[in-house]
Structure 1
């Protein structure tokens, strides 16, 4: 198992909004964002900003390499890292380790956002975009193909690739006895970002990556890749790491153990 389960957190790209809406520099970032929300509501009926106008503020990941007995939970870069550095470091990790990417709605949101931000910042990601031209192993199983497992979008797979059957990560996690959102959601990220609470955003993003990875373990058991003993062993790897983790990870563990139905 060589897996990278990840999640991203984003805010409105106010610089892009200024360009596309022809807004002056005299407007604050908050005012520009409100104009972007209003434009989006006018167009779609909701204010969820389009993927190409989302700016990445955090990418958190759970990495598990069972062959090397490695497990880690972290957020890429530092609180003051630039978006371009965060995105480049993410793709550099793929170049180095070629993991199976695991997401919840990664095909619909996380990866398209990262594609656009990489394009805008001139980020190189040759391994990620490999489609078999240089490595034939990627011809029938690559990161881009919807029905390939090199990127496993759990929401898409579990719904049978039927968007009418899509389910929220939070609800599936809770049904499995996992903590879920723990009092925060992506809807709070913009307000927390404006308040300078970057660490809180990063901590929240890590818990979403953990929920995603733990759902992935259940899916691996369902498809016969882990037996009951293997599932418990992999869950214990996670628990052991969280016991020595930062306060938000210990809180995740406590919530998991209190609600666990494993």
Structure 2
């Protein structure tokens, strides 16, 4: 089975913000601050509506054919449309089990709006049995189907009162948790041109998600202890062979946790 664990990082969609709130003439930074201010007035939160998020990174762990990979889709210079297209192309090609932490509540709705904006095709993703009859009973869209496993949503029993931050759960389980950046700092990093740092941060989050998922698979009997240990060792081998410093750091923190 192909397993595709994913995570996204976003910044304010200042282009849409200008059009919706009539903010012509403001810089990107001032437009974003105006968007935050207007949202605080409405909901007492800086967290913008899903449709006002622009994707700047999608990172993945892909487990298939006795191999595991971790990377960020596209290049640092890739457009948002290209990165979103790559995500849905991967679903069309491999029909993987999608795995996320709060993907139902955040990542996938944002991806849906961005795909809508750019006219990105995603036939496999939206199929509920029209093209493949098997998708009628197990598809990406229905909340209680397994083709997308939102680990947080499942552990919380589909109630927001029991939701938990990924880094807290990862740390509780002896995994590295947050490394360096946080989601609140992504906008600052983006304005500074640090796309590489954002992608590295996103990759650390998706690694934590994958490890929590493995622990979840062990708990619900889809893996036994020897199989879980083999999966962890396979990932450690990948990280040990990597020349990227953030992946080496992740491995070091994991070994010392």
Partner of 1:248: 246
1:7-46 → structure 2 map (5 Å cutoff) = 7-24=7-24, 26-46=25-45
> Does 2:88 correspond to 1:91?
yes
Aligned position for 2:256:
258
The whole-number CA distance in structure 2 between the counterparts of 1:163 and 1:133 is 32
The CA distance in 1 between the partners of 2:2 and 2:254, in whole Å, is: 24
Corresponding residue for residue 103 of structure 1: 100
Q: 1:163 aligns with which of 153, 160, 170?
A: 160
Q: How far did 1:257 drift?
A: 0.5
- Relative to the length of structure 1, the TM-score reads 0.97
Cα distance in 2 for residues equivalent to 1:95 and 1:41: 39
Counterpart-to-counterpart distance in 1, 2:33 and 2:99: 33
Aligned to 2:218: 221
Greater than 4 Å deviation, 4+ residue runs: none
C-alpha distance in structure 1 between counterparts of 2:29 and 2:181, whole Å: 21
What CA distance in whole angstroms lies between the structure 1 residues aligned with 2:57 and 2:179? 18
Instruction: Provide the rounded CA distance (Å) in 1 between the counterparts of 2:158 and 2:18.
Output: 36
The structural deviation recorded for 1:70 is: 2.1
After the TM superposition, which residues 72-221 of structure 1 pair with which residues of structure 2 at under 5 Å, given as runs? 72-221=69-218
Deviation digits for residues 72-118 of structure 1, max 9, x if unmatched? Answer: 00000011110000000110001000100000000000000000000
Where does structure 1 lack aligned partners over 5 or more consecutive residues? none
TM-score by length of 2: 0.98
Q: Which runs of 5+ in 2 are unaligned?
A: none
Q: Give 1:244 deviation, angstroms.
A: 1.3
Partner Cα separation in structure 2 for residue 134 and residue 92 of structure 1: 17
Question: Secondary structure of 1:128's match?
Answer: helix
Deviation at 1:183, TM superposition (A): 2.8
